[in-house]
Structure 1
Amino acid sequence: MAESLPQPPQPVAGSSKSGWLPAKSWQHFVAGGLGGMCGAIVTSPFDVVKTRLQSSLFREKHATFSLAGNGVVAVPPRTNLLYNFVETGHILRDIYRDESPRALFKGLGPTLVGVIPARSINFFAYGNGKQIIANKLNDGVENSWVHLGAATLAGIVTGTATNPIWVVKTRLQLEAEHKKSPSSLSSQQQRRISTNSWGMIKKILREEGIRGFYKGLSASYLGVTEGTIQWTLYERLKKLTANTEGKGGAAEWFGMLGSAGTAKCVASLITYPHEVLRTRLRQPLVDGKVKYTGLVQTLRLVIAEEGAASLYGGLSAHLMRVIPNAAVMFFIYEAALRW
């Protein structure tokens, strides 16, 4: 009986006991954008590392070599997950030492430009979508299927709207690798490498046209499963900690933080390969040629050239980024709604 009462999705819905008010809709938009912004700033260095570890350009540049018979062969990088955490620390140190502290926040501009509307759209579409789906299709009652449908809808809308921004961000984060690998680019391309977001936008438009801004969109749609799992699991975990709700204090907030972090961790581990495929699809042209042309072609090529383990390249940096990111984002989101 309690579940059928008009008290939408607990705190995450941000609705009042009197019903779903139009004024509450924009609160999801604002709170989601604020949470996304704070999370992105805090975890930006790990995002840079993750992007480079996912890229084949980075892997080729940092490949090690050893003598074998009469020739020299490349030694594949270690794929042990625990070592990857150590490697993440080494890369952070190298970027700080060799490029500058500012390089740890490379791509943060387009990240914020993308994260704020992306999170705003996502939280807005999810928060309102589950209310509409529940009211129209399930007699006003929320359950896991309602959450699943709302999360899928929110993911598709968000991915379509923000894909161009993520393409620019990825190119900027890989830019330093290009500058250090002149053999992979012609002199003309080296001179044209951009130093800011607007320059990168013009470069993509000039070399690849409008379609260049939608590279990796198919992988983004595949990644909708991550957001769907995350939202559905988050709602379920929140119910498990429902006994702390309304009591205030640290217990309630720690329950919320734990739910957000755990949901993101599980969703990321299940769906991570799409992140690598998306980064490969968004890589810049090399000598005017496109290496990765489609989702299936990229999957086959990566496995053939580097092995299936490479689909989890950068996982350590990704987890070190997304788990605290999700915790911060949902904490700010919930706090902003309640405030």
Structure 2
Amino acid sequence: MDIGTSNGLLQKIHSFFKVHDSMYKTATAGAVSGLVAAIMVCPLDVVKVRLQNQTASSVPKYVGGTVSTLKAIWSEEGVRGLYRGLSPAVVSYLPDRAIWFSCYYKFKIFFADSFHCSMDESSVHLAASLSASVVNTLLLNPIWVVRTRIMLQPPHPSPASSLSHHYTSMYDAFSTIIRTEGFSALYKGLGPTLLGVSHAAVQFPVYEKLKQILAEDERHRLRDPQHELSNTGIIIASSVSKMIACIATYPHEVLRTRLQTLHPNDAQPEINKYHGMVQATRLIIAEEGVRGFYKGLSASLVRSVPSAALSIWCYEWLLRVL
């Protein structure tokens, strides 16, 4: 390749990234923040999923909450137990954040143009967060199913069961699920997961509003109209918004976990106990009451609030650096 051709290629690459500059910055910042979050919160993810999966018809293995569950997993399975499912967690969080934040950014532009208003409007934040969450969910649900299954399984194969499989890797999990349950099994829990887009619909409009309020307060106190929101402000806004969203929308997570996991039916062991969002909702209420929808909530808050604060701070910081 001669110098003229190579220079032309470099110019084309430069032009491409210049045109799509904001989108790729957003995707890169989102992916890195997702990687950091996946590694930091994996043990709490394991605790949350295992607590969510304890049904009324089985003897609960984990009692006493988040700390005692962490201790139980540590004593029985060691560090590997606390990081069970890390590979699919990383594989899911990397594209999860990259896709979500880049879609959110693009949808904000789209809806601001469509509504003929500023990107700072609450209606734009709401529409963009809902749209980004739907796209994200449809693309990544199969990875979340595999992650949930691997996080729930014991370190060694359990006694033979018609619905029990011990996955040795992500590839084995994907191939086994498709072979034994069909491709549609990778979309189990899609209903409550789509219902869970309400989480982002609560979190990000609240986050954006809190950012505006805190930034205005800091500008007023510092008497600097160009001042950008401080790290402390970002952490406060992200933590408060995540906590509100988590408490408001938590039941969908329990439903999703139950539907994505294999639960043999007492009367017909070959049939899964939960088979549909409405049926699962009724069964949980009948067997466990409303409290059944909030199993693992403390673990989720301990996991989600610092994770969101770290992830969003990392995202905002990287956007400024890039």
Structure 1 length-normalised TM: 0.81
Q: Who is 1:330 aligned against?
A: 312
Q: 1:189 to 1:217 in 2, by over 3 A?
A: closer
Question: Are 1:320 and 2:318 counterparts?
Answer: no
Q: Which residue, 242, 246, 257 being the options, matches 1:279? A: 257
Unaligned runs of 5+ residues in structure 1 are 1-19, 65-76, 78-85
1:25 and 1:207 mapped to 2: Cα distance? 39
CA contact (8 A) 1:31 1:336 kept: yes
Q: Which residue, 189, 193, 207 being the options, matches 2:180? A: 207
Quote how far apart the aligned CAs of 1:198 are: 1.4
1:290-326 per-residue CA deviation (whole Å, 9 max, x = no partner) reads: 1111111110001101111110000000000000110
Q: Who is 2:23 aligned against?
A: 25
1:59 and 1:338 mapped to 2: Cα distance? 51
- Displacement over 6 Å in runs of 4+: none
Q: Who is 1:224 aligned against?
A: 197
Question: Are 1:124 and 2:102 counterparts?
Answer: yes
Q: Which residue, 28, 42, 45 being the options, matches 2:43? A: 45
Q: Which residue, 68, 74, 77 being the options, matches 1:99? A: 77
Stretch moving more, 195-204 or 253-262 = 195-204
Q: 1:204 to 1:87 in 2, by over 3 A?
A: same
Quote how far apart the aligned CAs of 1:215 are: 0.2
Amino acid at match of 2:272: V
CA contact (8 A) 2:66 2:299 kept: yes
2:124 and 2:305 mapped to 1: Cα distance? 25
CA contact (8 A) 2:108 2:119 kept: no
2:55 and 2:84 mapped to 1: Cα distance? 17
Q: Which has the higher contact order (CA 8 A, sep 6+)?
A: 1
For the aligned residue pairs, the C-alpha RMSD in angstroms reads 2.2
1:58 and 1:46 mapped to 2: Cα distance? 22
Q: Who is 2:89 aligned against?
A: 111
1:306 and 1:63 mapped to 2: Cα distance? 16
Quote how far apart the aligned CAs of 1:247 are: 4.0
Quote how far apart the aligned CAs of 1:285 are: 5.2
CA contact (8 A) 2:198 2:249 kept: yes
2:59 and 2:47 mapped to 1: Cα distance? 14
Quote how far apart the aligned CAs of 1:164 are: 0.1
Q: Who is 2:5 aligned against?
A: none
CA contact (8 A) 1:118 1:158 kept: yes
CA contact (8 A) 2:53 2:258 kept: yes
Question: Are 1:267 and 2:245 counterparts?
Answer: yes
CA contact (8 A) 2:255 2:277 kept: yes
Q: 1:234 to 1:59 in 2, by over 3 A?
A: farther
Structure 2 length-normalised TM: 0.85
CA contact (8 A) 1:57 1:177 kept: no
Quote how far apart the aligned CAs of 1:203 are: 1.4
Stretch moving more, 133-142 or 270-279 = 133-142
Amino acid at match of 2:245: A
Percent of pairs with identical residues: 37
Q: Who is 2:13 aligned against?
A: none
2:166 and 2:109 mapped to 1: Cα distance? 47
CA contact (8 A) 2:163 2:262 kept: no
Quote how far apart the aligned CAs of 1:63 are: 6.2
The count of corresponding residues between Structure 1 and Structure 2 is 293
1:264-297 per-residue CA deviation (whole Å, 9 max, x = no partner) reads: 1000000000000000000125343211111111
Unaligned runs of 5+ residues in structure 2 are 1-17, 220-225
SS in 1 for 2:230: helix
Quote how far apart the aligned CAs of 1:200 are: 1.2
